[in-house]
Structure 1
Amino acid sequence: MVRISYLSGLLTVLLLGPHAAMAEHWASEAIPFNKSAGCMEGPLAEFGQYIGNWKIDDEELQDDGVTWAAGAGARWDFVCLGNGTAIQDFWMPNDGGVGTNLRTYNKESESWDIAWSVTGMSGFAHIQARQEEDGNIVMMYKSPLPNPPRRITFFAAEENSWKWKLEMSFDDGENWTEVYRIKATRI
């Protein structure tokens, strides 16, 4: 009985040992998804500044066009993929549903190509973003085009917080009305 147990243990070590070592290797430096330095330099730093986990306090403009009401809040986590290949975020509202953005920097157009999907949405929305001279990042929907038109602005991050706003245009882009805003605080 002892001999069988010993042989079984030896066989397990012999069979799994290389795989365990390989798994440990893959879980560390071999997989490029555990590094974020590439998202913190050059143009990728534009969205790289938001990498981390954030508690979201939100407000929505009420129908009277003047009053703001607190929302349910959310959590928003940003991660670097492939040490600078892309930045992905995970939007998790406290009142249900989830969403994700996959953001890649397009060197030719010097802008961001973003794919957005959220619970209940068919397919992806294509969004394009560009950092402006003041450091804010403005995002515009490209397809499908929402009605009314929308734009989103990420304001430059501070060490432990940042702000964001959603605006809609009710006159085909002539004027914009802020309808939703958030304040993110690092968790």
Structure 2
Amino acid sequence: MKTTFIICFTLCASICFGQYDYEVSKTNPFGLPNPKAPEQITDYKAMIGLCNCKSTTRKQDGTWNASEDITWEWKYIMNGTAVQDQTLKPDGSHSGSIRQFIKDSSKWYVHWFSAKTPSTKFPIWEGNKIDDKIILYKEQKAPNGTDGYFRLTFYDMSKSGYKWIGEWVDLTETIVYPTWKIDCTR
């Protein structure tokens, strides 16, 4: 009986635990990219971990609010096949995203959620890494009804930090109106 248990436990351990090799662990507190995932899983590798950030939003009158200190945390999830991020804010209005790259469409799909504004249907941005930027779009009309997008761009990505900007753009991207900026450093 004892021998049978040891054989079954050893067999199960080799089969079952392999499915978690890339998850968050003591050794890898932010997970690892799964080599079986699409190669784009590493598009966010410069952001993985914790960063101290300055977040600034635009006021209704067009001027900018004072910057707010936030922490932005990134990790690989779903055994290294997706990326999750969350912003930790002093006022408790935390938010985050789950990011999956879908090979069939060759795009990232980003599902955003917020503690301050819970939703039964998450807004979705989609896009790609182009050169040294990750650019994502979600259809959004301007306050005056003009068709356009809310565009999110990650840039200046390196081991020492990254920058992010949220902008409303028209359909041709000739009109660009920034509404939110975040500058992160390690």
Same fold (TM over 0.5): yes
Quick one: distance in 1 between partners of 2:67 and 2:141? Answer: 23
Deviation at residue 54 of structure 1 after TM alignment: 1.2
Q: 1:38 to 1:52 in 2, by over 3 A?
A: same
Quick one: distance in 2 between partners of 1:75 and 1:147? Answer: 30
Q: 1:172 to 1:132 in 2, by over 3 A?
A: closer
The reply to whether residue 132 of structure 1 matches residue 111 of structure 2 is no
Whether the aligned pair in 1 keeps the contact of 2:20 and 2:79 (CA below 8 Å) is no
Within 5 A, what are the aligned runs for 1:166-185?
A: 166-169=166-169, 174-185=174-185
Within 5 A, what are the aligned runs for 1:1-187?
A: 31-32=20-21, 33-34=23-24, 35-38=31-34, 42-65=39-62, 67-119=63-115, 120-122=117-119, 123-133=121-131, 135-141=132-138, 145-148=139-142, 149-169=149-169, 174-186=174-186
CA deviations on 1:19-49 (whole Å, 9 max, x unpaired) are xx99xx7xx8763313404389831111122
Specify every segment of 5 or more residues in structure 1 that has no aligned partner in the other structure, as ranges: 1-17
Q: CA RMSD in A?
A: 3.0
CA deviations on 1:59-81 (whole Å, 9 max, x unpaired) are 2234443x433232211100011
Quick one: distance in 2 between partners of 1:124 and 1:156? Answer: 28
Secondary structure at the aligned position of 1:46 is classed as helix
- Answer with 1 or 2: which has the greater Rg: 1
Whether the aligned pair in 2 keeps the contact of 1:48 and 1:80 (CA below 8 Å) is no
Q: 1:44 to 1:62 in 2, by over 3 A?
A: same
- AA aligned to 2:80 is G
- Using structure 2 for the length normalisation, give the TM-score: 0.72
Quick one: distance in 2 between partners of 1:72 and 1:147? Answer: 27
CA deviations on 1:138-171 (whole Å, 9 max, x unpaired) are 1111xxx444331110014122111000101378
Quick one: distance in 2 between partners of 1:62 and 1:106? Answer: 36
Quick one: distance in 1 between partners of 2:49 and 2:111? Answer: 20
Secondary structure at the aligned position of 2:158 is classed as coil
- What count of residue pairs does the alignment treat as equivalent? 159
Specify every segment of 5 or more residues in structure 2 that has no aligned partner in the other structure, as ranges: 1-5, 25-30, 143-148
Deviation at residue 88 of structure 1 after TM alignment: 0.6
- AA aligned to 2:176 is W
Q: 1:113 to 1:170 in 2, by over 3 A?
A: closer
Give the percent of matched residue pairs that are identical in Structure 1 and Structure 2: 21
Name whichever structure is richer in helix by fraction.
1
Whether the aligned pair in 2 keeps the contact of 1:114 and 1:126 (CA below 8 Å) is yes
